Amino acid sequence: MNRSEFKDSLLRVMERKVHWAWPAFTAGMVPRDLLHIHLEQEYATYVRDFPVLLGRAYVQCPNPHVRQALAENIYEEETGKLSGSGPHPQLFLEYPRGLGMNLDRFKHVQLLPAAAEFRALLDETTTGHGWAVATAVTTLFLEGTEFERGELDPGYPRRPRPALRDHPLVKHYDLPLECLALHRVHRAVEGGHRKAAWHLMLDYVDERERPAVLHWMGQVLHAWLHYRDEVAEHCGLEQLAQHQVRKAG
């Protein structure tokens, strides 16, 4: 598998990182009293421990150039000092805080079954299959979106950047704008992170490692889709979708 084939295969995986329920989330269709489920599960599956997941890729990597790029990412995620903000997991908690949720429940989140399976797979892929797989899963899959092709080719659409006042949590749930600190940081650093992630994948992953990277990226995508199905169900969106189908019929 050559570099071009590897790149296109990774892009096809990322272009499938789309879930049917996300438009309902962004349209404010999740009842306010169930919204905490989504935030808690996201926080506990990977947001809280994302610097740790990145660190696992770092400690397995023999290449100093790759380690330097990963170290910079870890430092920003863990401290926020490169962007002048704060630790990203703590910034995430500004969402539930601004929505008036009880932050104590984020200290001991009970993962739903598919969420627990997704987290277990993240642990496996970041510890047991080498730095390339761990780096792909963290810097490409978890940090990336379905718009990755646009990060590499200006002829394709990039990730949308709507006005902050149009953020779904602001627009539909009255989240104060000052609680979008993490969103602002991601906007500031996402370009550099996307460029670095693809640079590491395409320029440093050995040809012999590419099939394993693609295999585990596919497994993570599959588990993520099931995890998001489960969250959507617990947020009442599965019943809503079935109702809309019956109504349309």
Q: What pTM was estimated for this model as a whole? A: 0.93
Q: What is the mean pLDDT of residues 26-53?
A: 97
Least confident of 74-83, 162-171, 240-249: 240-249
Number of domains in the chain: 1
Identify the band that residue 217 occupies on the pLDDT scale cut at 50, 70 and 90. Answer: very high
Cα→Cα distances 79→103, 179, 183, 196, Å: 20, 18, 16, 19
Q: Which CATH number belongs to the domain containing residue 109 in this structure? A: 1.20.910.10
Radius of gyration of the chain (CA): 18
CA–CA distance, 17 with 15 (Å, rounded to integer): 5
From the CB of residue 28, how many other CB atoms can be counted at a distance below 10 Å? 14
CA–CA distance, 210 with 241 (Å, rounded to integer): 38
Say what the alpha-carbon torsion angle 219, 225, 231, 234 is, to the nearest 10 degrees: -110
CB 76 within 8 A of CB 86: no
Range(s) of the domain holding residue 163: 3-248
Say what the alpha-carbon torsion angle 115, 19, 200, 6 is, to the nearest 10 degrees: 120
Asked whether residue 94 carries a pLDDT value surpassing 90, the answer given is yes
Least confident of 155-159, 176-180, 212-216: 155-159
Contacts of 101 (CB under 8 A, 6+ apart): 36, 39
Identify the band that residue 246 occupies on the pLDDT scale cut at 50, 70 and 90. Answer: very low
CA–CA distance, 155 with 136 (Å, rounded to integer): 24
CA–CA distance, 144 with 73 (Å, rounded to integer): 14
Digit-coded pLDDT (tens) for 117-131: 999 999 999 998 999
Digit-coded pLDDT (tens) for 81-93: 988 899 999 999 9
Identify the band that residue 240 occupies on the pLDDT scale cut at 50, 70 and 90. Answer: low
Mean pLDDT of all residues in the chain? 93
Asked whether residue 190 carries a pLDDT value surpassing 80, the answer given is no
Q: What is the pLDDT of residue 245?
A: 38
Contacts of 60 (CB under 8 A, 6+ apart): 130, 131, 134
